[in-house]
Each structure stands twice: as structure tokens, then as C-alpha cells.
Amino acid sequence: MESIQAIKGMNDILPDQIQWWQLVERTARTILENFGYREIRTPILEKTELFSRSIGENTDIVEKEMYTFADRKGEWLTLRPEATASIVRAFIQHNLQADPLARKFYAMGPMFRYERPQKGRYRQFYQLDAEVFGVEDPMLDAELMNMLRVFLEQLGLSGVVLHINSLGCPECRTPYRSVLQKFLVENAADFCPDCQRRLHVNPLRVFDCKVERCQKIIENAPMLLDSICEDCRDHFEAVRSYLERLQTKYEINPRMVRGLDYYMRTTFEIITDRLGAQNAVGGGGRYDGLVRDLGGPDLPGIGFAIGMERLILLLQQQRTEPKRSPSMFIALLGDRAKQEGFLIAQQLRSIGIETELDYAKHSLKSQMRRADKLTARYVLILGDDEILAGVAQFRDMESKSQSTIPLDRVVPMIKNTIENNAETAAND
């Protein structure tokens, strides 16, 4: 019988890869919570209307990429393609604007889009997402991007560039849209079929196209940044000023529009040249009208999302693999030793010391090889003879030293040794 395989573009994350994920998640939680963000978890399944209203009917995500189906009652549901809309929905539904602490949120979890799987881009993919509501000040825009810089630096990531732009507001985008559309129509015959459709329904999306001939045409297109109103220009200049005071390097990219309709004013992306054509690791921007458009109060909003698969690919190129090793391995020889060693293992684990032990009756040589393969720092050797003598052998695998310790003092002595060595290493 043929074995069942995973769905194309939906991947298992195996134990030998999970260390990278845990590193990113652990670092993200630390940095985001230091900046005052609180975790929120939303369902992966939402009403389709949530995404069509927020992302935009004429975006590629809504038109082509969403996993959408009708349930048994005929209601249209969608696996979330991004997190912002779900977080905004939760913010409105639970009246979180009334909570003075409920302003900054973060989330981590899977998203779903039906597109061609490629390096770092899958049909089930994971994002780290941060959102802020109720703050219009450009200082926050700069703080959010600076937080992103701090996060990447803490991970030890280099070779990424912050690109920023302003998409203006509805008042300055409306006249610009007409100017852009005129330019696009004049060159319509040379665009790819997707762009020929976009130029009539959503001309800004043409800037997202990766087809080379389309990119060459839009090099000469009028730029929105040249047409934004005075208020939007002042906001953008203030954002730049704050970034410079924070010594957060950036490049202005006037052709960056992002792929979602709700963005306005500040937009940004983290770009790398190490992942091929799909060069954005993450990005975000302002969406000051979205909370209102989804039925909530008229509050400004801003946020970003990072693709975790792409981030981990970059880390794997630049860092040695993070290793998780048990502090202790217990080698057991004999039935009585097995009973006693089992109890010691549970006691060590209960006080936070990661411990492995031999469950089968392997030779001491075989067990020591396994401890070495697991890169355990310490090995406790316990045989029936040691049980009779009331002692155990304690071996430091790094220094190769071995000592005899009283059996009734095993747990506290191991705890003290590990803590003292950890403190010494931290001070070196």
C-alpha cells in the first residue's frame, strides 16, 4: 500500500530543524515584550468577508491565493492568508480599545496561500506579526522599524536592508491613481497579462509585478512619493528623522507598494539578496482606516509581518546550528540501578535539568557512545555495585574528569555543579 504524503507546499518541521524555530520564537517574545507588546492568538479559520473587505477584492491574495470553501450551512470560510485582519477583528469584537493596556499585540502562527511553492515560500507558512492601534504619531512608525532592527540584530542576522516609502492617504492617492493609470494604458500592450488586468482595476499593484519587462516599463512610471500631500510628506519626513536619530539605516524605495489594499502612509520591507526573486523577508506599514472599515472605532493602526521560513533560511546561511543537548545522561547497569536511576531522572527533570537515560539494557560502552552523540555535558554512571555501596560515578564529558558522589546527595550535588559551571561560563 502506498504511503500517504504531506500536501504539496505544506511541510513538516522535524526535530532536527525545530531549534531554529525555537530560537526565532524565543528571541521574538523577548524583544516584543520588552517593547510592550502582548501576545494574542486568533483562529486560523475566519469568515471570507473579513479578508475580502480588508485585503481588497482586486488583490492577488483574494482573487487567486486564498483557501476558501463553504461549510455545511453554506457560509464562506477562509484559512487566514495573513494575521492583521484577524487581529483587527478580535480587537473590535472584544472591545479591546476600552482596555488601556490593549494597544500593542503580537502573534505567531501558520497562514495559508495557494501559490507555487518555492524557496522559503510555501502554501502553509508561518509569520511573526506585530500590530499597534490608536497611535498616529510618526514616532511609533520609527519605533516599530527600530524594534525590527533590534530583533534581527539579536538573532545575529546581517545582509538585510530596510526599504521605506509613503503611500500617502486617500486624498493624495486618488489624483495620483489617474495619472498612473494614464501612463499604464499608454504602455498596456507591453505589459504581462496580469498587469494588463491590474491597470484597470488596481493600477498600484503593477508595481508588485516581478516580470522583467514590466519592471523596466515602471521604471519610468510617475511615483506616488512625488505626489503625496503636505500632511503625508510631513509625516514621512518625521519618520525619517526619528529613524536617523535611532541610527536605523534605511533606503527610500518609491516603487514599493506592498500587496494589500489597506496600507497608507508609511510602508516598509526588509529586503535580502540571498533568497532569489522572492527577496522580502517581511514588511508592513500603516493602515489607519482599517479598524473603521471593519466596523470598529476610527483608530489608526500600524504593523508588520515576517515570514519565519525565509528568516530561518537566512539564519542557517549565517549562523552555526543551535544545538539542544541534555545536561545529564544517566547510564544504568543492572535491575536495581535501573529502578534507582529512573527516580533520579524524574527528580532532576522536575527541578529543570534536562536529563536522558538508557531505557534498555545496553553495555556501558554503548551508553557512553550515546551520551557523547547527544553531546550531554555530564553522565551519571549507576550500577548494581554502586547501589550496594551507596554511591554513583559522576563524569564531566568536557573535562573528562570523574568523581564518586554519595547516592543520597546525587540530586543536590548535580544541581550545584551545573549551576556553578553555568555561572563560571557566563563570567568568562
- In the numeric block, which cell numbers belong to residue 138? 510618526
Question: Does position 75 have pLDDT exceeding 60, yes or no?
Answer: yes
- In a shared domain, residues 23 and 89: yes
> Quick one: which of 312, 309, 311 has its CA closest to 321?
312
Q: What are the E-state strand segments in 91-244?
A: 104-112, 124-133, 160-166
What stretches of 361-428 show up as alpha helix (H) in DSSP? 364-373, 384-389, 410-427
Q: Domain of 356: which CATH number? A: 3.40.50.800
Q: What's the pLDDT score for residue 428?
A: 59
With b for 16 or more beta-carbon neighbours within 10 A and e for fewer, the 333-353 pattern comes to bbebbbebbeebbebbeeeeb
**CA atoms of 300 and 298, how far apart (whole Å):** 7
The mean-pLDDT minimum among 42-46, 253-257, 332-336 falls in: 253-257
Question: Does position 80 have pLDDT exceeding 60, yes or no?
Answer: yes
* 381-395: average pLDDT: 91
Q: What's the pLDDT score for residue 38?
A: 94
> Quick one: which of 367, 364, 363, 347 has its CA closest to 355?
347
- In a shared domain, residues 255 and 343: no
310-355 residue pLDDT tens: 889 888 887 767 667 788 899 999 889 999 999 999 999 998 889 9
- In a shared domain, residues 403 and 254: no
Is the sign of the CA dihedral 19, 21, 27, 29 positive or negative? negative
Q: What's the pLDDT score for residue 56?
A: 66
3 in a structural domain: no
Question: pTM, whole model, 2 decimals?
Answer: 0.79
Three-state secondary structure call for residue 391: strand
**CA atoms of 142 and 240, how far apart (whole Å):** 7
- In a shared domain, residues 98 and 242: yes
Q: What's the pLDDT score for residue 15?
A: 87
pLDDT category at 302 given cuts 50, 70, 90 is very high
Q: 284, 318, 352 — which closes off a domain? A: 318
Q: What's the pLDDT score for residue 203?
A: 75
- In a shared domain, residues 31 and 88: yes
- One-letter amino acid at 295 equals G
Torsions phi, psi for 110 (to 5 deg):
-80, 145
Q: What's the pLDDT score for residue 33?
A: 93
* 223-228: average pLDDT: 82
Higher pLDDT, 252 or 276: 252
372 in a structural domain: yes
pLDDT category at 228 given cuts 50, 70, 90 is confident
- Residues of the chain with pLDDT > 70, as a percent, come to 92
260 in a structural domain: yes
6-26 residue pLDDT tens: 888 888 889 888 989 999 999
Site of grid cell 557523547 = 372
- In a shared domain, residues 311 and 343: no
**CA atoms of 403 and 426, how far apart (whole Å):** 24
* 33-49: average pLDDT: 93
189 in a structural domain: no
- In the numeric block, which cell numbers belong to residue 44? 486560523
Q: What's the pLDDT score for residue 37?
A: 94
DSSP state of 9: T
Q: What angle is formed at CA 129 by the lines to CA 124 and CA 133, rounded to 5 degrees? A: 140
User: Chain-wide mean pLDDT for the chain?
Assistant: 86
DSSP assignment of 201-246 equals: H-GGGGGG---HHHHHHHTTSPPGGGT--HHHHHHHHHHHHHHHHT
pLDDT category at 57 given cuts 50, 70, 90 is low
- In a shared domain, residues 252 and 357: no
**CA atoms of 42 and 424, how far apart (whole Å):** 43
- In a shared domain, residues 278 and 351: no
**CA atoms of 72 and 80, how far apart (whole Å):** 19
The mean-pLDDT minimum among 142-146, 240-244, 373-377, 424-428 falls in: 424-428
Q: What's the pLDDT score for residue 59?
A: 62
- In a shared domain, residues 347 and 305: no
- In a shared domain, residues 275 and 141: yes
pLDDT category at 195 given cuts 50, 70, 90 is confident
Quote the number of domains for the chain.
Answer: 2
Question: Does position 276 have pLDDT exceeding 60, yes or no?
Answer: no
> Quick one: which of 77, 84, 142 has its CA closest to 261?
84
What do you get for the CA distance between the two ends of the chain, in Å?
58
- In a shared domain, residues 148 and 275: yes
DSSP assignment of 252-319 equals: E-TT---S-TT-EEEEEEEEESSSTT--EEEEEEE-TTHHHHTTS-S--EEEEEEEHHHHHHHHHHHS
204 in a structural domain: no
Q: What angle is formed at CA 230 by the lines to CA 225 and CA 236, rounded to 5 degrees? A: 55
Q: What's the pLDDT score for residue 277?
A: 53
For 36, 38, 135, 264, 391, the CA distances from 101, given in Å and listed in that order, are 9, 9, 13, 25, 55
- In a shared domain, residues 396 and 265: no
239: containing domain: 18-169+228-318
Q: Domain of 233: which CATH number? A: 3.30.930.10
* 364-381: average pLDDT: 91
82-126 residue pLDDT tens: 999 999 999 999 999 888 766 899 999 999 988 877 776 789 999
pLDDT category at 264 given cuts 50, 70, 90 is confident
**CA atoms of 173 and 201, how far apart (whole Å):** 14
pLDDT category at 130 given cuts 50, 70, 90 is very high
